[in-house]
């Protein structure tokens, strides 16, 4: 019985590590299913950035299922503006409040 519990815990820990590896700093999973092999988390915008020069999305920002060719284009999007105000006031923004704030 102890051996089965040990195996189960190893499995749970393995899945947890894989999940953590595939997420950005805020726990948001990297975009999948797109022609980009190198996603970087952009802390300033709170979005992913395609850093794959061989991709058709190279140097594009990804937010809400859409790609933006520049940071300015992203920031001018109304859906991004709504998201950004919540991102900056939420966990990880450096503001006090919430748990441990």
Residue predicted with more confidence, 27 or 66 = 66
Instruction: Convert the pLDDT of each residue in 88-97 to its tens digit.
Output: 776 544 444 3
User: For residues 50 and 39, is the Cβ–Cβ distance under 8 A?
Assistant: yes
User: For residues 86 and 80, is the Cβ–Cβ distance under 8 A?
Assistant: no
Burial class (CB in 10 A: 0-12, 13-18, 19+), 36: buried
Whole-angstrom distance, CA of residue 8 vs CA of residue 5: 5
Q: What is the pLDDT of residue 47?
A: 95
Q: What is the DSSP letter of 37?
A: S
User: For residues 50 and 57, is the Cβ–Cβ distance under 8 A?
Assistant: yes
Instruction: Convert the pLDDT of each residue in 11-53 to its tens digit.
Output: 544 444 334 444 555 678 899 999 999 999 999 999 999 999 9
Average pLDDT of 6-10?
56
Instruction: Kindly report the number of other CB atoms within 10 A of residue 59's CB atom.
Output: 13
């Amino acid at each position: 019985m102890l051996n089965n519990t040990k195996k189960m815990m190893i499995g749970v820990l393995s899945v947890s590590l894989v999940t953590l590896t595939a997420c950005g700093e805020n726990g948001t999973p990297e975009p999948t299913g797109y022609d980009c092999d190198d996603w970087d988390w952009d802390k300033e915008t709170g979005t992913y950035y395609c850093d794959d020069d061989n991709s058709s999305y190279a140097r594009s920002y990804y937010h809400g299922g859409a790609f933006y060719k520049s940071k300015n284009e992203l920031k001018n999007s109304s859906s991004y503006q709504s998201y950004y105000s919540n991102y900056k006031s939420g966990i990880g923004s450096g503001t006090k409040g919430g748990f441990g704030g």
